[in-house]
Structure 1
Amino acid sequence: MSLGTMTVARQQKKWRLSAATAVAEAIFAAFLVFAGPSWDATAADTLERVVVDPASGLAISGFDPVAYFSRGQAVRGRPELERRVGGVIWRFENEGNRAVFAEQPEIYGPQFGGYDPVAIGRDTSVAGHPQIWTIKGERLYLFYDEAARAEFLADPERIIERARQKWPSVAYMIPR
């Protein structure tokens, strides 16, 4: 049926539905632009299941998560520069790193909470060591040992995808 043979009321209803659909599509498109391809539904859960040193209670053994990006090295944070995020205590090298992390912990926190993505892909949780790490796709990954890091670097996309698939079931088994 063409618009020419519809009643005025039906034409207005059809136009309102089309306009509503267009608005919804625009909102979804904006979400995709701002969230970007790196958006990950497991990001929130990643920060809820962070590797915590049982002796000190510190996330990733007190290493500054932002320093991996800003300095390209593992740097211990300072006790006077702590911040509680995601239910755990993080330490930082300086005020700037602490402020940046507070704004975007999902960006600077280690992926999979600091658990080794190679192990996660094998359905197990093994804490990564904060001095065995890499940055891939602007995200930080920690590894149990150099062999796991080398395996990751040989095919990071495959290992990341497998770990993302397995993470919900593996994370479920990690005590909070």
Structure 2
Amino acid sequence: MLNRFALTAAAAASALTFATTALAGDQYVDETGFAVSGYDVVAYFALPQNPVGQTQTPPVAGNAGITADYNGATFAFATEANRDLFLADPAKYAPQYDGHCAYGVAQGGKVPANPYLWRIVDDRLYLNITDVVVGFWEEDIPGNITKSESNWVSIEDTAASDRTIPKFTSTAPQS
């Protein structure tokens, strides 16, 4: 398995796009023991994405027996093929801001993110914390990403959030 240094080097070598720096701090991990509460981050990219203002398609639960480590956390996958895609380019699939709420980062802090509240923008996965926060984030997605990128530089090295995701129970595997 590739080590964190090798994966970081591979991420740095990939195209410099908005948010590749969004993977430098500690990954948010909740009570499941997995990044993104045990949901398959590769599977998000194959799900139909609903328009702004509509609830997204539910994420795909990962399998506790099909995992990969990246950014100090264990990610679970529904299939070995998804795990292999992730290992080939983890920065492409891992959620931005180390799995913290994108709008929270835009506001200058690290708070947990709910894996059901997601959106793919410019081939990057963004998560948010609550339905209400999704509404604020969707009012100006490009502007909020710009704010998040600006804020991330000063908060990425702070500890990952240790808070529980409000009103959320994962149906994905537990470690």
The TM tier, using the shorter chain, reads: 0.7 to 0.9
Determine the structure 2 residue equivalent to 1:101: 86
Matched residue SS, 2:133: helix
Does structure 2 retain, via aligned residues, the 8 Å contact 1:49–1:112?
no
RMSD of Structure 2 on Structure 1 (CA):
2.0
Aligned-pair CA distance for 1:104 = 0.8
Distance in structure 2 (CA, Å) of the matches to 1:64 and 1:36: 23
Matched residue SS, 1:61: helix
Letter paired with 1:71: L
Q: In the alignment, which of 27, 49, 58 is matched to residue 34 of structure 2?
A: 58
Matches within 5 A, 1:17-166: 36=15, 38=17, 40=19, 42-45=21-24, 48-53=25-30, 55-72=31-48, 73-166=58-151
Distance in structure 2 (CA, Å) of the matches to 1:144 and 1:90: 19
User: Quick check: which one's helix share is greater?
Assistant: 1
Aligned-pair CA distance for 1:129 = 0.4
Higher relative contact order at CA 8 Å, sep ≥6: structure 1 or structure 2? 2
Structure 1 segments unaligned to the other structure (5+ residues)? 1-33
- Report the CA distance shift for 1:70/1:175 in structure 2 as closer, same or farther (over 3 A): closer
Aligned-pair CA distance for 1:119 = 1.1
Aligned-pair CA distance for 1:79 = 1.0
Structure 2 segments unaligned to the other structure (5+ residues)? 1-12, 49-57, 162-175
* 1:113-156 deviation digits (Å, cap 9, x = unpaired): 11112111211111110111111111111001112212222211
Aligned-pair CA distance for 1:175 = 4.5
Aligned-pair CA distance for 1:163 = 0.5
TM-score, normalised by the number of residues in structure 1: 0.72
Matched residue SS, 1:168: helix
Letter paired with 1:61: S
Indicate the percent of aligned positions where both proteins have the same amino acid.
27
Greater C-alpha Rg: 1
- Report the CA distance shift for 1:80/1:41 in structure 2 as closer, same or farther (over 3 A): closer
